[in-house]
Structures are given as C-alpha cells and as structure tokens.
Chain A
Amino acid sequence: MVKVFQAADATDLVTELRRSFDDGVTRGYEWRVTQLKKLLLICDNHEPEIVSALHDDLGKPELESSVYEVALLRNSINLAVKQLKDWMAPDKAKTSLTTFPASAEIVYEPLGVVLVISAWNYPFLLSIDPVIGAISAGNAVVLKPSELAPASSSLLAKLLEQYLDSSAVRVVEGAVTETTLLLEQKWDKIFYTGSSRIGRIIMMAAAKHLTPVVLELGGKSPVVIDSDTNLKITAKRIIAGKWGCNNGQACISPDYILTTKEFSPKVIDALKQELEAFYGKNPMESKDMSRIVNSNHFDRLSKMLEEKEVSDKIVYGGQKNRYKLKIAPTILVDVPLDSQIMSEEIFGPLLPIITLNNLEECFDVIRSRPKPLAAYLFTQNQKLKERFALTVSAGGIVVNDIAVHLAVPTLPFGGVGESGMGSYHGKFSFDAFSHKKAVLYKSFIGDAAIRYPPYSTGKLRLLKALVNSNILEIFRVISGLS
C-alpha cells in the first residue's frame, strides 16, 4: 500500500538529507564516484527493464531507449567519473597589484540539498543526467520523476533506492500535490525540466527561499532550409530529429520549417520520400516511432489539426487513432501564423512548413516569437551560417543537423528567455550544482597606509596612482615605502 506523501514527509525528507549533507556524507570524492559507478551498474544491469518501461509509457522503440537514453547516460556517467578529480580541483585565479601580495583561487563547493524535477518524454535521461551533476558536485538530491511516465517513475524509484545511498539520494513519486509540497521546502538548488508555464511556478516558489534554479524549458524550434542545401540529407536529419526522437515529443524537436515558396515543393517531396523510406507506406503501423504519451496530449494535437484554416493545409499524413494514441507523421503548408499549431510548442508528430518570399524573412519570423531552445539551419552559405549564429537568439544553434548538440558534453545545453535559464551537460552539470567560492589568501606583508583613515590629499594622490597603474608609484605605495 502506497503511503500518501504529506507536508510532514517533505519536511522530514529535507531534514534528513540536510543532516546527511552536514555530516559530510556526500562531500568526499570516494562517495561521489561510488554513487556514479552504481548509476553505471543500473545502466548495465537493467537496460531491458528500462527499455520495457519506456515502451509501456511511451511506446518508445528499443533503439531510441537504448541509444538516446541509456547510452547517453552511460557516457555522461563515464565522463563524470573520469573527470571528477579535475572538476573538483580549485581553479587558480590571478591577483592584481591592488591586492598584492595575495594568491587567489576558486573553490568548488556543493550547494547542499537539491531538488531535481524531471519530465515524461525522456524520463530516464532527464532524471538521471541532472542527478549525475548533483552527485558529482557533492550534493544530497531528491528526484521527482514525472507521473505522466508512471512505469519509468516507478522503476527509477526502485532502482535508485536499490543501488544508491538513500541517506543522501531519494526519489519522491507523485504529481501536483507532491510537487507542491516539495516546492514549499527550502532547497539549495532546484533543477526543473518541463514547460515554461510550470517553470514560472517553480521559480516563484524558489524565490521565497532565494533558491537558484536551472529551468530547462522548451519552445518552437524553427528549421530554416536554404535552397543550396543537400536536400536528401537535410530531410533525413529532420525526420530522424523529429519523428525519430520520441515522435516529436522532445524539447529540441524541429517544430516548424521556414523555407522559400520556390523551394518548398522540393522540401515536401524530399520529406515524403524519406518518411516513406523510414516508416513505410503505413506509418501508423510502424514500430519505429513512439506513440503520443496520453489522451490529453492526443486531444491537444488533434485540436491543432482540426482548427479551421489548418485542416485543409495538410499535405501528408493526418491520420489519427485515439485508441492507439497514434498520429501519423503529418506535414502542413502555410497554416495561419496565429493558429494554435503556430502559437504553441507542438510537441508531437506535426510539422508545419511556412513559406517565405525570400529566405531573409526567416529572421523576422523567428525574432517575432519567444526565444526557442534550439534553432536549426540547413545551408552551404557561409555568410548565412554566420549571420544566423550571431543574430538568432536561442538556447543553442545547430547548422546542418538536428538535436545532436544534446549529446555533446562540451557544449552547454540550456535555454534563454522563454526556453529557460542555466545550462548543463558535461562539466556544465557539475558547475550547475556547485557554488564557486572565491578564496583570497592575503599575507601580512605590506600594509598600505593609504587604505586607512585619517584620509588626506596625499593618500588620495597615491590611490589615483594605483588606479592609473603608475607602476613605479604603485610599488612604492604598496610596499609601504611611500
């Protein structure tokens, strides 16, 4: 029988974890590495169960589960284990003449007890990847997986309890009630993956305790296609990045396409051709795509398709099966810019193409919308690439590919504006859960009288020399010789 999680439970949980943290349980290198290696064991020993849970929750194909969740996690853990000593070492900082003689460094310290709230679309990746960061940085952590992926949530709770040190790492399952109770507690950091709407609620709750947050949100990630691109590869990458990644239900999914009126028919043909090559003539039967997560989201997507002035713009797909929670890969052309499908993040297998008279116009279209998590461009035009990278504001930009930057540990992954704040992956995860404490070691040699009252014009003169870097004067001053 499942015990109902109440306010007292939330308080007790945080108190207990704080005690563990204060006792120093999580600080040592050994503990952190041991926990990370245990996470690796979970990946090694339980992949079939993970694949099965993901199939239950999302109809996710084995390859996606195995590669885009488990394999990515394995890499993330291995990198952390390999680099942890380096990451934990203080950074030397340069001191200047004004603080001479001194040495300075930046010490990485854990924040304390942190909360990770995960999402339903990549339930293992988006739960464990932040937890890897939290543990590497030496924190105690509570994970709240999404209730919309119940099999995954339950498996995560079971596995983390079985393998990790439960005096410092815990899972709380539940929905709005449990999350609200957790958010009332004082955390030293909150890491949230999800929607912008909930992101606001999280940040508001965090404000009550001055808790810093990382919010990995979403948005409408545009794909701009230039007519000089290799269309076959472009189409394949868009399809793999959209329908091949949880059937469009991903934060960095290509949301809509921008291309010229002239080039659009070629784009549509290429997409149709490759879609058939990937998923056959009957994509509704294909086992290589996740299904829609639940009937709420199915209805949301259906409504988008059924909207007046949208339903007649479908040029491919459009089939739906509510019972099976399936919608075929669907392409639409030139839906109204104020339609639902062009106003909110689609998060599904629908791909609108908006045609422009001139590719130049793409900048205005993108700029007129909230900043997305990712923006994509397919082109061979060097100038266009540079302009795009420089002027399109998004969490991250990928040229000539889709979504791959998520797998690169040396690039910070995060949003800007509506798509979020903060970043992680690789060392950025370690940094996200650390406080970089500035440490200055000063000696007693040389106490410049100019620092102290009583003040005089003479002292003022010397101070000015210091500021103006009058080297000779400075040396005389700070060595107390002046």
Chain B
Amino acid sequence: MEEVVDQSLREMRDTFASGRTRSVKWRKTQLEAIIEMVKDNEDKMCDVLFQDLGKHSTEAFRDELGFVMRSATTALNCLDKWVVPKKSNLPLLFYPSTGKVISEPYGTVLVLSSWNFPISLSLDPLIGAISAGNTVLLKASELSPNASAFLAKTIPSYLDNKAIKVIEGGPDVATILLKHQWDKIFFTGSPRIGKIIMAAAAEHLTPVTLELGGKCPTIVDHHSVSKDMKSVVKRISGGKWGSCSGQACISVDYVLVEKSFASSLIEMLKPMIRSFFGENPKESGCLSRIVNKKHFQRLARLLNDPGVQASIVYGGSMDEEKLYIEPTILLDPPLDSEIMNEEIFGPILPIITLRDIQESIGFIKSKPKPLAIYAFTKDENLKTRILSETSSGSVTFNDVMIQYMCDALPFGGVGESGIGRYHGKYSFECFSHEKAIMEGSLAMDLEARYPPWNSFKLTFLRLAFREAYFKLVLFMLGLKK
C-alpha cells in the first residue's frame, strides 16, 4: 500500500508539473467525462447506493446523481469566467503599477470522502479540485464499500488516470496517506477525525477544508407559521427521514418548539411519516437503512437510555439484522442524555419544548456551532435574533436541507462544524491559491523611495502615503514645509 501511494503521488506530481491540468480544455474534458460517467452508470450507481445504504433510486438521484451532474454542469458553464484573473484597483500612490489576482491550483490534493453520500461527497469535491486545475487522489469511505469499489473501478475509465486517482480503504490507508505532503486536503466526516486530519496536515503546513457536522436544530415558531404548518411538518419530516434516514450532516437533528404546541406538532408528524412510508416503513423501500452494525448499535444505545426510552412518543422499533430503525419521535428526552449531546445521525427526532420560542436562541448557543440552523418563522424579530445571536455554518428560514442545493451559497461550517466551504464557485476557490500579481513600471522612478534618508524624503513619503496629493504638490513646489 505504501508503494502504491508513493507511486500514485509521484505520478500525480509529474502530471501536475507537466502543466496538463492547467489547461481549461483539459479541465472541461474531465468535467464532461464526469457527467458522462454518471449518465452511463445511473443504474449501477443507484444499485450500489441501494446496496450500501438501502437508498431508493429517486432519493439517490435527487441527493447524489442529479446533484453531481448539476454541479459538474455549473462548473463547465462557469469555468471560463472563474479562471479569469481579477483586476485589482490600486491606490493612486502606486501609479502606474497594475495589480491582479490569479487563481492558481494548489497542486496535488487529497479528497477524503464520507459514507452517507458516497457518490456526491466524492465527486463534488473532485469537481472542485479538477475545475481549479489540480491533480487529485480520492479516498472513498470503506463504510460504503460498493460505492467505493464502483468509484475505484469506474473513474479510471472515464477520467485522466494519471491525474485523478482513486484509492480504497479504511483508517489504515488514511493514515498512510496523511503521512505524505499534500498541497490541500479536503475532508468530509466527523469533528473527531477532523482534528486528526488537521493535526496531520499541520506537519506539512497543508491547508485544509473540513466539512464536519453537529446537531442542526430546527426552530418551530408555531405562532407565526400556523397557516403553513402542514408545509412545516412536511419539510421537517422530509428533511429528517427522507434523506439517508437522518444520516446527513445537515439533517434536522432536533426540534425546538413551545410546550403548548408540542403535542399538536407530534400529532401532525405521525400521519406525515405514514404518508411517506406507509404503515410499515421497513417494507416501504423509501427509507434508507442504517449504514452498518456499528452505527446501528450506536443509535440503539442512544435510544436504550432509560430516560430516552421513556420519552418515545412514536416509533422506536429496531431490527438489527435489517439495520432498520423506525422513524422515531421523542418528546423531551433528558437534556444530559447522550442523544442530546452528540450528533444523532439517524432517524430519531427529539422534540425539545420551551416555555417561549425566544429561549431557542439560548439553547442553541449552549451547544457547539452546528453546520446549519433551521427556523420556521415569519417573525422578523426572531429571524434577526437568530441571525445575529447564533452562529452556524448556515441558516435556512422556512425549509430544511435545501441550502445544499443553492450553489450560489457557500457550504461549510464554523467552529466544531468545520473550516472552509465549497459548492459552485466556492469549490473552485477552495482548491485554488489566490495569487496576487503586481507589475511596476521601469520607466518612472521616485527618488524619495531610496536612501540615503533625509527629512525631505521623510515628509514626501509621509504625504504620499497619506494620499495627501495636494499637500504633496505644495511640498514639492516648496510651498509647504
């Protein structure tokens, strides 16, 4: 394995040094190839996602395949614009110098993907790395082995395999990879591993983007959205159970609602869940399963806490063999229980009641900064408070998850939920070094710039720097001291 990594790195570095990946034409060819790969292999991709996670093909298309195709298409359409150097306006003091900023690829980058959206969380960063002109090594997650194998087998036959490589494996492979020097590391996963990645990157001063997670709260201000409550409930349900069964970094983790409305909310959630998954969600085919036994056991442990068990108001059934956990609703589980202190990443929805919805601000602030905050409210005051008093990667009002689809918005965390961002143009920037270029003129020269120093030059420069040009002129004419 060490040798494979060494050789791959060497080849990718040579490829980068050759300049091939710098050409816009090469980048576009790769992006087109990605689109083609997805189109040609739609069925296979849906198949591996079903094998790894029990994803329905519609969910697979919506969250992964379709997303990747759109992302690649956007990059294709915008690349010519993105690669154009940005002109900078220079202060008059520097005339006639000119300045601009060029986006330059970092070089050879490492993308470490995750298991819950193994296609999109692999290909989307890849799209960014390629658009920016890098060579890239992708390590897919071993916890989604079919998707990982598919990518390892299929990418080389579509993309330039001296520039874009795929490696399979788990923590042991990751450890080997992290010993090497990369020009950028892009990681999607848990905060715990994020810290390990960043520490490893520190050895080589490698910049990182860490897309992590957290507990994404959902505020339901029932006073102001009562007319649209059905929509609210639908969106929350879709956001919790409709996307990888709650195993998403931007999943609705828990709901905050006023005590007086809690039972009404629950009574609306129940039929909504049934409308999505029928009377027997296990057989519906529309609910993803838990990824593996380890995560199943983790979730079972969260649920089996006596205080948590007592709070179950809907669902709660589990089937370890089928890695199935029923869409479950909890009402006010103990706040110090594990389920309220770690990212759930599963189909269990705690509803936390408050006396007054305004308290949701303080509640959210007491926890690490999440990747997203969702708030169903039309109260402008509450909206302002949420925006200015809480901190999160993003805030979405009156919907959930959908910010992921808006590629004009940067997607990334803050604090425990991550460092850096991507999507759309931000993906391109994520994998680029913004290099400043300044050009001076050899035709004009200012004596005052050079030693030996004297008080004339000092005054001149002081005035020049202050851009006090009129005073400067007076000074030069001897009309000012």
Residue B337 at the chain A interface, CB threshold 8 Å:
no
Per-residue CB proximity of A46-75 to B under 8 Å, as 1/0?
A: 000000000000000111001100011011
Per-residue CB proximity of B26-57 to A under 8 Å, as 1/0?
A: 00000000000000000000000000000011
A405 and B99 in contact, given A67-B462, A207-B198 (Cβ under 8 angstroms)? yes
Residue A210 at the chain B interface, CB threshold 8 Å:
yes
- Whether the Cβ atoms of B91 and A96 lie closer than 8 Å is no
How many contacts between A and B, using CB within 8 angstroms?
Answer: 309
Closest-CB distance, A473 to chain B (whole angstroms):
14
A397 is contacted by which of B225, B403, B435, B465 (Cβ under 8 Å)? B435
**Complex contacts, A280 vs chain B, CB 8 Å:** 452
Q: How far is the CA of A207 from the CA of B196 in the complex (A)?
A: 7
Per-residue CB proximity of A371-401 to B under 8 Å, as 1/0?
A: 0000000101000010001110111111111
The residue on B at minimum CB distance from A27 is B388
**Complex contacts, B396 vs chain A, CB 8 Å:** 439-440, 442
**Complex contacts, B1 vs chain A, CB 8 Å:** none
- Whether the Cβ atoms of B91 and A409 lie closer than 8 Å is yes
A279 and B452 in contact, given A102-B406, A200-B202 (Cβ under 8 angstroms)? yes
A400 and B387 in contact, given A75-B465, A435-B414, A447-B235 (Cβ under 8 angstroms)? no
Q: How far is the CA of A291 from the CA of B396 in the complex (A)?
A: 57
**Complex contacts, A451 vs chain B, CB 8 Å:** 62, 238, 242
Q: How far is the CA of A95 from the CA of B397 in the complex (A)?
A: 14
**Complex contacts, A33 vs chain B, CB 8 Å:** none
Most chain A Cβ neighbours within 10 Å, of B89, B242, B457, B465: B465
Residue B305 at the chain A interface, CB threshold 8 Å:
no
B449 is contacted by which of A240, A422, A440, A443 (Cβ under 8 Å)? A240
- Whether the Cβ atoms of B69 and A467 lie closer than 8 Å is yes
**Complex contacts, B438 vs chain A, CB 8 Å:** 396-399, 401, 404-405, 408, 411
| A: number of interface residues (CB 8 Å) | 109
A455 is contacted by which of B22, B57, B420, B434 (Cβ under 8 Å)? B57
Q: How far is the CA of A438 from the CA of B387 in the complex (A)?
A: 10
The residue on B at minimum CB distance from A422 is B207
Q: How far is the CA of A200 from the CA of B397 in the complex (A)?
A: 40
Q: How far is the CA of A453 from the CA of B234 in the complex (A)?
A: 10
Q: How far is the CA of A206 from the CA of B207 in the complex (A)?
A: 13
- Whether the Cβ atoms of A63 and B62 lie closer than 8 Å is no
**Complex contacts, B474 vs chain A, CB 8 Å:** none
**Complex contacts, A421 vs chain B, CB 8 Å:** 205, 207
The residue on A at minimum CB distance from B68 is A467
- Whether the Cβ atoms of B97 and A404 lie closer than 8 Å is yes
The residue on A at minimum CB distance from B287 is A453
- Whether the Cβ atoms of A99 and B465 lie closer than 8 Å is no
A417 and B205 in contact, given A396-B438, A399-B438, A437-B395 (Cβ under 8 angstroms)? yes
Q: How far is the CA of A135 from the CA of B103 in the complex (A)?
A: 28
Residue A111 at the chain B interface, CB threshold 8 Å:
yes
Q: B3-11, B146-154, B276-284, B292-300: which lies at the A interface?
A: B276-284
Per-residue CB proximity of B331-373 to A under 8 Å, as 1/0?
A: 0000000000000000000000000000000000100000000
Per-residue CB proximity of B203-226 to A under 8 Å, as 1/0?
A: 101010010100000000000010
- Whether the Cβ atoms of A438 and B403 lie closer than 8 Å is yes
Closest-CB distance, A190 to chain B (whole angstroms):
12
**Complex contacts, A289 vs chain B, CB 8 Å:** 451
**Complex contacts, B465 vs chain A, CB 8 Å:** 67, 71-72, 74-75, 407
Q: A149-157, A263-271, A456-464: which lies at the B interface?
A: A456-464
- Whether the Cβ atoms of B450 and A239 lie closer than 8 Å is yes
The residue on A at minimum CB distance from B241 is A453
Q: How far is the CA of A288 from the CA of B194 in the complex (A)?
A: 49
Most chain A Cβ neighbours within 10 Å, of B231, B238, B398, B436: B436
**Complex contacts, A67 vs chain B, CB 8 Å:** 458, 461-462, 465
Q: How far is the CA of A230 from the CA of B418 in the complex (A)?
A: 50
Q: B137-145, B313-321, B440-448: which lies at the A interface?
A: B440-448
Q: How far is the CA of A240 from the CA of B449 in the complex (A)?
A: 7
- Whether the Cβ atoms of A399 and B449 lie closer than 8 Å is no
- Whether the Cβ atoms of B395 and A393 lie closer than 8 Å is no
**Complex contacts, A440 vs chain B, CB 8 Å:** 394-397, 399, 402-403, 406, 409
A438 and B411 in contact, given A109-B391, A204-B199, A454-B278 (Cβ under 8 angstroms)? yes
**Complex contacts, A111 vs chain B, CB 8 Å:** 414
Most chain B Cβ neighbours within 10 Å, of A208, A286, A412: A412
- Whether the Cβ atoms of B205 and A196 lie closer than 8 Å is yes
Most chain B Cβ neighbours within 10 Å, of A112, A200, A460: A460
Q: How far is the CA of A112 from the CA of B465 in the complex (A)?
A: 32
Per-residue CB proximity of B171-200 to A under 8 Å, as 1/0?
A: 000000000000100000001001110110
Residue B466 at the chain A interface, CB threshold 8 Å:
yes
Interface residues of A in 432-451 (CB under 8 A from B): 435-444, 447, 450-451
**Complex contacts, A367 vs chain B, CB 8 Å:** 17
Q: How far is the CA of A72 from the CA of B462 in the complex (A)?
A: 10
The residue on A at minimum CB distance from B207 is A421
**Complex contacts, A94 vs chain B, CB 8 Å:** 408
B56 is contacted by which of A93, A239, A455 (Cβ under 8 Å)? A455
The residue on B at minimum CB distance from A94 is B408
**Complex contacts, A436 vs chain B, CB 8 Å:** 410, 421
The residue on A at minimum CB distance from B368 is A210
- Whether the Cβ atoms of B435 and A439 lie closer than 8 Å is no
Closest-CB distance, B106 to chain A (whole angstroms):
7
**Complex contacts, A409 vs chain B, CB 8 Å:** 91
- Whether the Cβ atoms of B242 and A464 lie closer than 8 Å is no
19 contacts between A and B (CB under 8 A): A63-B461, A74-B466, A93-B409, A210-B195, A234-B442, A278-B450, A385-B439, A393-B433, A395-B435, A396-B435, A396-B436, A399-B440, A400-B439, A411-B436, A439-B409, A440-B395, A440-B409, A443-B398, A453-B286
Contacts A217-B205, A391-B19, A455-B58 aside, 7 further interface pairs with beta carbons under 8 A come to A67-B458, A237-B440, A393-B433, A396-B436, A407-B93, A408-B438, A453-B277
